[in-house]
Amino acid sequence: MILNLLRSRGPISRAEMAHLTGLSPAAVTFVVAELMEEALLVEREAVSGATGRRPVPVDINYEAHLAFGFKLNRYSINCVLTDLATTPLALLDAEVADTRPEGMIETIAATIPKLLAQADRQESEIMGIGVSIPGEIDPTTGMCIQSPRFGWKDLPFAELLAERVHVPVWIDDDVNAFAVAQKLFGVGRDHANFAALAIGAGIGCSLVIKGEIYHGSHSAAGKMGHITSVPNGRLCECGRKGCLMAHAAEPFMLDEWQNRTGSAISRDAFASSVEQRDDLALSILSDCGSRIGRHLADMVNLFDPEIIVVGGEAVQFGEALLAPIRKTMEAFAFFTRPELVADWVPSSWARGAAALATQRIFDFERSPSG
């Protein structure tokens, strides 16, 4: 309770903690002492005012503990070393030559000493590793139930990695991990109910309900990208046809450019065309945005989130993509029209993965794999 209070309020005195939690001052003093012993809390400098000595503010000792975050992609792993506030201390992208589980695990294991050296930190400071994997992931068992992108099925990924690196490992779907980071230290800090939409190589929309990620009964909630948008349409990576992501995620945008011009385009070249306000690029984004907004409205009608935070590489395209999403969502939403806010930097995927580990500091009921 105290850790979560400090996470949302920032540093406060013991007396304020007692006031805000309803705990007795003696209980607060006792718990704070215990958490300071574990190096989870630290006293910050008191600011002295005109009336003399001010009470000493207590804060979470964000700097003293480290977490690794790994976001698995087909051709690379985004790797980060963060403190407890998921502030990046070291970043790197590791190339993936082998997408089999053993290959991914070896690539992760090899980056750990590199990241520690880059940040000049010690292995003993690591509290955990978070790995985000696109797919259906059960975070309580650490199982990857399926990941069509890597062709994985019923894989105890957390256990396998923990055995290799001897550090507790937590895993979740990549969009869920982004939502966890938003819940802890992003837009979601002030919202109990919100949706986290991600648009990049795929599309996903994780739901945070009453402050918890909603996984559904088979870890398959939030898979907005696999809603059928065009019956018998393009083949999706999941093996089905016409999924929203097959008709509106980044690979579709590039294919669409090729179909309409007859020549292929790289992602970077497409991004520059958007920046130069090229008509065709803008029209493709407008079509994709409208399609996404149409399905986002259905999500809003079902879940009534307070706010929708948008992440993923496609956020780089800015209002050219976001405005049509917003416009169509608002046109099709029945009653509420939640605000759509972009919050994205290139390290957000990896930081989200690290948040899978750091969130355990704020949630003592769950235990790690390994």
β-bridge pairing 307-311 and 194-199:
parallel
**Residue 49 or 239: which CB sits closer to Zn ion?**
239
Asked if 50 and 69 touch (Cβ cutoff 8 Å), the reply is no
Q: Does 282 bind Zn ion (CB under 5 A)?
A: no
End-to-end C-alpha distance for the chain, whole angstroms: 26
In angstroms, the CA 186 to CA 178 distance is 10
Kind and range of the H or E run holding 197: strand 194-199
- The vertex-109 CA angle with 105 and 112, nearest 5°, equals 145
Residue 227 beta carbon to Zn ion: minimum distance, rounded to whole angstroms: 9
Single out the segment in contact with Zn ion by CB under 5 A; choices: 70-78, 150-158, 242-250, 362-370: 242-250
Asked if 196 and 210 touch (Cβ cutoff 8 Å), the reply is no
Q: Does 248 bind Zn ion (CB under 5 A)?
A: no
Beta bridge partners of 268: none
Which of 116, 195, 243, 300 is the binder for Zn ion (CB under 5 A)? 243
Using CB atoms within 10 A of its CB, is residue 40 exposed (0-12), middle (13-18) or buried (19+)? buried
Single out the segment in contact with Zn ion by CB under 5 A; choices: 2-10, 97-105, 219-227, 325-333: 219-227
In angstroms, the CA 345 to CA 365 distance is 31
Number of residues that bind Zn ion (CB under 5 A): 5
Which of 226, 247, 295, 351 is the binder for Zn ion (CB under 5 A)? 226
Phi, psi (5° rounding) for residue 209?
A: -120, 125
Which of 238, 254, 280, 323 is the binder for Zn ion (CB under 5 A)? 238
CA 72 to chain centre: 12
**Residue 166 or 240: which CB sits closer to Zn ion?**
240
**What number of other Cβ atoms are within 10 A of residue 49's Cβ?**
8
Q: Does 295 bind Zn ion (CB under 5 A)?
A: no
Q: Does 220 bind Zn ion (CB under 5 A)?
A: no
**Residue 236 or 314: which CB sits closer to Zn ion?**
236
Which of 236, 253, 320, 355 is the binder for Zn ion (CB under 5 A)? 236
**Residue 9 or 240: which CB sits closer to Zn ion?**
240
Residue 223 beta carbon to Zn ion: minimum distance, rounded to whole angstroms: 8
Chain residues 82-121 in contact with Zn ion, contact rule CB under 5 A: none
Single out the segment in contact with Zn ion by CB under 5 A; choices: 6-14, 65-73, 243-251, 261-269: 243-251
Binding site for Zn ion (CB under 5 A): 226, 236, 238, 240, 243
